Homo-oligomer: A and B are copies of this chain.
Amino acid sequence: MIAAFPQSGPTMPAKPTDHRPRVAAERRERMRRRLIESAMIVFADKGIGASVIADVVAAAEVSQGSFYNYFRTNEELLAAVGDELSGEMVQLIEPVVGDIADPAVRVATAVRCYLHLARSHPLLARFLAAAGLRMLVHHNATFRYLPADLEEGQKQGVFAAVPLDIVLDLVGGAGMAALDRMARGRTPKSYPDQIAAALMRTLGMGVADAERVAAGPLPKLAFGADSLLARAQARAAA
């Protein structure tokens, strides 16, 4: 009987009574995504301290009141954008750096990927620059893995034995400054690599080694067509 009248399942069409909730849930999800897209654009434009709700709902073509069915506060909205973006960036970067054995190369590559993504997506750079240090450090997979990578590198002797706090602060600060620079104007294509090399020196590598591990080809990184960033970019262009 169960097989004959499955209540639910991935391949089964939902019963008529199931249909409405599913459609509703999809509608709800679409709306949420629209709001997040709009919010990313508005935060990038006006900063995270500005009055955004009116602009966000206008950009999302949603009523003021509806907003509060999805987000209670400004911060919740900002966090949602950050979570979503962070996830998408991790999904692009993780596969590239996950298999790298050398911790120095791994760290350098992660930084380079992160910054190259920002550099080739101005909206992303502007949002991250506006979001600030806290979000960079909090919502970033690079930072979650960084302590382990750094320790590993220190144990292997490729990084100098300096307190982790210090270098974490410096990586964060350098990242913010780089994002700010890229958000604010044109930078050469090598800019992310140079920042990465400098960071490798900060970690204690020699000049030549630092340059080496921050060089070499990177795979093409591209956001999916229905990713938040792609959608937001398209909407921002219009």
Chain A interface residues (CB < 8 Å from chain B): 47, 49-50, 133, 160, 162-163, 165-167, 169-170, 172-178, 180-181, 191, 194-195, 197-199, 201-204, 206-207
Contacts and interface: CB of A to CB of B under 8 A. Distances in A.
A40 B201 CA distance: 36
Q: Is the interface of A mostly helix, strand, loop or mixed?
A: helix
B201 A160 contact: yes
Nearest first, the 5 A-B pairs at minimum CB distance are A173-B177, A173-B173, A49-B49, A202-B202, A169-B177
A176 B207 contact: no
Given A50-B49, A202-B201, A204-B207, A133 B166 contact: no
A177 B181 contact: no
9 contacts: A47-B49, A133-B176, A162-B194, A163-B194, A173-B174, A174-B177, A176-B176, A201-B203, A201-B204
